[in-house]
Amino acid sequence: MTRKQFILVGVSSCIIGFSFPFFLIPDEDLYTILSLSFTATGTIATILTLVVAMILYQKFTIDSLVVERQTNKVLELVDILKGYTVYIHTGKVVIHSRFIIDDQSYFKIPAINEALGSALITREEDFDNFVNKILNVGNSYWMPNEIREKLEFLRITGLYPVEKKDLNNFSRLTFSQTVSDDDEWLKIIASLKTVHSTIENPIKLEDAELLLNDYITSKNSLVAEIENWLATKSSIKIKLDMDLPNQKNIHIENKAT
C-alpha cells in the first residue's frame, strides 16, 4: 500500500467511524451521538497510529541492521588498508605509497612527477597476496556500492609478461619491500571497465596499461569515499589516521616487573 492509499484509507476510516453512530442510534440525543462519534474516531486514529509506528519500527530495525553490517564490512576493509605501504620503484626513487589522500604537492616532486605517466608492472604473488584480500572483502554484498565501485581499479583484466630488457620503461609496483634481480615482472592490464570507459577505439589487450597516475588517483578516490561514507552514516566523527599502523598488527611485549 502506498502512502497516498494509506492516508486515504485512514481518513475514510475516521469519517466512517465518526458518522456511524448517527446511523446506529439515530434516536439518541445529539450530545450522546457526538460523544460516541468522537470516541470511535479516537479509537480508529489510535489504531492507525499504532500500525504506522509498527511499520516505521520494522523499517528502522531493518535499515539499522543493514547499516551496521555495512559499517562492519567497511571497517574490515580499513583494517586491511590502514598503515599499509605499497612500494613503487620508478628507477630514480622508491615511492612509499600509503592509503591516504595525497596532497597536491606530492605530485610536484620532480622524481614522482616524471614517473606519473609510466605503466605499472608487478609480481604475480605480490598482487595475489595483497590485492585479493581487498577484493574478497569488496565482493561482499554488505559492501556499500559506492565503495565497491571505487575498488574497480584493482579488478585488473590480467598480467602480461615483460622482457627483462624492457623493465626500465616501467614503474614497479610491489607489496613487499624486497626486490630481486631474478623476479619475474608482469605488466598490469587495467580492468575492462576502466578500459572501456576511457577509450573510444579498440586497443590491444597488452596496451591497456594501468598507469602510475591512474593508480594513485584511484587509490585517493577510494580513501575519500570510505571517509565520506563513514562520516554520513554516523554523527560521531571517526578519525581513521590511515597513515598510522593498524593497532591489531602491532606486537606488544609484556615485560615482567
Question: Is residue 187 one of the residues assigned to a domain?
Answer: yes
Among 43, 67, 91, residue at a domain's last position:
67
Half-sphere exposure of 115 (CA within 13 A, CB side): 24
Question: Do 55 and 155 belong to one domain?
Answer: no
Among 38, 67, 96, residue at a domain's last position:
67
Question: Do 210 and 131 belong to one domain?
Answer: yes
Residue type, 67: V
Question: Is residue 185 one of the residues assigned to a domain?
Answer: yes
Question: Do 22 and 89 belong to one domain?
Answer: no
Structural domains in the chain (count): 2
Question: Do 222 and 197 belong to one domain?
Answer: yes
- 181 or 169, higher pLDDT: 169
Contact between 144 and 70 under an 8 Å Cβ cutoff? The reply is yes
3-class secondary-structure state, position 159: strand
The pLDDT value recorded for residue 160 is: 84
Grid cell 460523544 is found at 35
Question: Do 147 and 230 belong to one domain?
Answer: yes
- 9 or 189, higher pLDDT: 189
Q: What is the mean pLDDT of residues 48-71?
A: 70
Question: Do 34 and 158 belong to one domain?
Answer: no
The pLDDT value recorded for residue 113 is: 87
Question: Is residue 106 one of the residues assigned to a domain?
Answer: yes
- 249 or 71, higher pLDDT: 71
Question: Is residue 89 one of the residues assigned to a domain?
Answer: yes
Q: Which domain holds residue 62?
A: 3-67
Question: Do 56 and 99 belong to one domain?
Answer: no
Question: Do 59 and 151 belong to one domain?
Answer: no
Give the Cα separation of 190 and 225 in Å (integer): 21
Question: Do 113 and 208 belong to one domain?
Answer: yes
Question: Is residue 72 one of the residues assigned to a domain?
Answer: no
The pLDDT value recorded for residue 131 is: 86
Question: Is residue 250 one of the residues assigned to a domain?
Answer: no
Give the Cα separation of 59 and 62 in Å (integer): 5
The pLDDT-based confidence of 255 (bands split at 50, 70, 90) is: very low
The pLDDT value recorded for residue 249 is: 46
Give the Cα separation of 1 and 63 in Å (integer): 19
User: For 40-54, 174-188, 200-214, which range has the lowest pLDDT when averaged over its residues?
Assistant: 40-54
The pLDDT-based confidence of 40 (bands split at 50, 70, 90) is: low
Backbone dihedral angles phi then psi of residue 160, each to the nearest 5 degrees: -115, 130
Q: What is the mean pLDDT of residues 75-93?
A: 89
Question: Is residue 257 one of the residues assigned to a domain?
Answer: no
Q: Is the pLDDT of residue 28 over 60?
A: no
The pLDDT value recorded for residue 252 is: 32
The pLDDT-based confidence of 192 (bands split at 50, 70, 90) is: low
Question: Do 227 and 142 belong to one domain?
Answer: yes
How is 106-148 classified by DSSP, letter by letter? GGGSHHHHHHTTSBEEE-HHHHHHHHHHHHHHHTSTTS-HHHH
Question: Is residue 253 one of the residues assigned to a domain?
Answer: no
Contact between 172 and 179 under an 8 Å Cβ cutoff? The reply is yes
Instruction: Work out the mean pLDDT of the chain and round it to a whole number.
Output: 76
What digits encode the pLDDT tens for the residues 206-243?
667 889 989 999 999 999 999 999 988 876 677 788 87
Question: Do 188 and 216 belong to one domain?
Answer: yes
Question: Do 108 and 230 belong to one domain?
Answer: yes
What digits encode the pLDDT tens for the residues 115-145?
888 999 998 888 787 888 899 999 998 999 9
Residue 133: how many CB atoms within 10 A of its CB? 13
